[in-house]
Each structure stands twice: as C-alpha cells, then as structure tokens.
Amino acid sequence: MDIRQATRNDAERICALCETLGYPASLSQTEERLARVLDSENGDVLVAELCGVVVGFITVHIVDVVHDAMPWGRISALVVDENFRELSVGRQLLDYAETYFNARECLRVEVTSHISREEAHGFYLHLGYRITPMRFIKLLAQRTLVAIS
C-alpha cells in the first residue's frame, strides 16, 4: 500500500468515500473542495492506494494557536473503504498523519468524529487518543444539500 498526497484526479474516489460517511456531494463540489485544501499552505489530503485504487484518505491541517508555543495538528476526516478496513489502512493513514505533524513541530493532534461513530471512537482510543468531552459548534451558513443523480 502507498500513501501519497492526493491529486485532483482522486476527486471521484474521495467523493465516493465521503458519501459513505454521510457527506454526499457532487463530483464538481468535491473537486472544488479538494483543490481548496490542496492549495492551502496549512492543509493536505493524503490517500492510501492499493493496487492503483484509492481505498482511504485523511485530511490534515496545521492550526497555529496563541495559547501554545507550537501549532496543533488537526484531522478533519479519515475514511477507509469498508472492504479494506481489516488491512490496517486507517492505522497506517493515522501513523502517516502523526509523522506529518511531527515534521511540522505540532504539539498535539486533534481528531474529530461524529458522536454516533462508536467503531471509530474505539479505533482512536485503542491508538492512544483520549476523549475530550466538550466541543461547541455553530453553523455560520446553511448547508445546501445537492441531490446526486
């Protein structure tokens, strides 16, 4: 398995993987979002590829903070195709992300996961992450759902 930086050519597969998490989008929306992250100096999308097929991805961000001496690493998405989860793809992507953050001198790593994803929570706990009980979120813009035909 290879882990590499995503390219715009990976958008179709990333789009399908996002849909499995409950984040449906059109291919053009995914292409725009992927381009935005790839063009950012503080973010990246890494894909896991097996036999020429993208089987998972992780989105990483560097967050500069005033209250700590070093930046924080943030993982906003980690998705592995359910047909490949037994191959430790998620763990390898997470290990890669931690190396990525260490190389950028991040103090800590923050991972977000929806409250209903108990299997994911167990995965993170098993790998040394701990639950921090409070996060407050307020939507600033209404999300427009696009029907995918």
**Distance separating alpha carbons of residues 70 and 101, to the nearest angstrom:** 11
Q: What is the pLDDT of residues 79-119, one digit of tens each?
A: 999 999 889 999 999 999 999 999 999 999 998 776 667 77
Confidence bin at 145 (pLDDT 50/70/90)? low
Structure tokens at 84: 């490949």
Q: What is the pLDDT of residues 21-38, one digit of tens each?
A: 888 999 999 999 999 999
> pTM of the prediction?
0.84
Is 121:86 a contact under the CB 8 Å cutoff? no
